[in-house]
């Protein structure tokens, strides 16, 4: 039975550049991207607009305010990512395979996967942590392993991924189903060998 966000329940909040929420074994939709996937000038303008918006919309948010936040900020990032900026190292099937193997490595032990897509310059994953495993540790493990292996394969060094990631707790079965459809539709404009979709 899927576990969904309980507005009345306790939430663990961690702050890096973005706030990250976890509530026990609730399903989470996560996106992270390659470090060069968004033009710096556009990202700086996005951050400035977001800071101004947050100053006028202190938490807690109701569903309408949260929807507005994601429409203005999360959706904008998704559109820019889908435009295919940067090196798009994950378009190479060998690099995409490294990410796919990492996502499956601790499946059933640290987390349960519902679906994911590896795009040319970003990754979307729908999963839920199991037991005492923490969102930030799971993401760090995926990114650290993939960074090491892809850099080795590409003969490169330095940062592969953005420092942070976007996440959202899943609120209902309707929300869960929407995210699954979103993942499935994300690569619609790509050739079959330019992405990995699971399941």
Q: pTM (2 decimals)?
A: 0.77
User: Can you tell me whether residue 39 is helix, strand or coil?
Assistant: coil
* Whether the Cβ atoms of residue 186 and residue 127 lie closer than 8 Å to each other: no
**pLDDT at site 17:** 45
**pLDDT at site 57:** 86
In the block, tokens 């979307």 appear at 124
DSSP 16: S
Residue in 183, 186, 154, 187 with CA at minimum distance from that of residue 170: 183
**pLDDT at site 140:** 93
User: Can you tell me whether residue 95 is helix, strand or coil?
Assistant: helix
User: Can you tell me whether residue 88 is helix, strand or coil?
Assistant: coil
DSSP 130-170: -TT--HHHHHHHHHHHHHHHHHHHHT--S--B-S--EEEE-
Alpha-carbon distance of 172 to 165, in angstroms, equals 22
Alpha helices in the chain (DSSP H): 40-56, 63-69, 75-82, 93-105, 135-154, 173-185
Alpha-carbon distance of 175 to 4, in angstroms, equals 9
Q: Which residues pair with 35 in a beta bridge?
A: none
Domains of the chain plus CATH, in order, are 12-198 (3.30.70.1290)
pLDDT tens for each residue of the chain, 199 residues long: 458 655 656 555 555 444 555 556 789 999 999 998 877 777 778 788 888 888 888 877 777 887 888 788 777 777 776 666 778 999 999 999 999 999 999 999 999 999 999 999 999 999 999 988 988 899 999 999 999 999 999 999 988 998 888 888 888 899 899 999 999 999 998 999 999 999 9
Residue in 93, 110, 72, 199 with CA at minimum distance from that of residue 150: 93
Alpha-carbon distance of 99 to 73, in angstroms, equals 26
**pLDDT at site 13:** 55
């Amino acid at each position: 039975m899927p576990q969904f966000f309980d507005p009345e329940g306790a939430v663990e909040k961690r702050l890096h550049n973005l706030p990250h929420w976890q509530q026990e074994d609730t399903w989470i939709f996560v996106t992270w991207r390659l470090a060069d996937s968004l033009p710096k000038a556009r990202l700086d303008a996005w951050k400035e607009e977001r800071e101004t918006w947050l100053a006028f919309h202190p938490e807690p948010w109701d569903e309408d305010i949260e929807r507005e936040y994601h429409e203005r900020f999360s959706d904008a990032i998704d559109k820019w990512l889908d435009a295919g900026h940067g090196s798009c190292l994950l378009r190479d099937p060998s690099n995409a395979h490294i990410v796919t193997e990492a996502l499956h490595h601790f499946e059933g032990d640290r987390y349960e996967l519902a679906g994911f897509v590896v795009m040319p310059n970003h990754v979307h994953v729908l999963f839920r942590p199991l037991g005492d495993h923490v969102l930030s540790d799971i993401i760090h493990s995926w990114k650290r392993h993939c960074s090491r292996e892809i850099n080795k394969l590409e003969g490169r060094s330095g940062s592969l991924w953005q420092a942070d990631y976007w996440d959202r707790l899943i609120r209902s079965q309707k929300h869960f189903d929407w995210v699954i459809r979103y993942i499935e539709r994300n690569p619609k404009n790509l050739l079959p060998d330019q992405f990995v979709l699971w399941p």
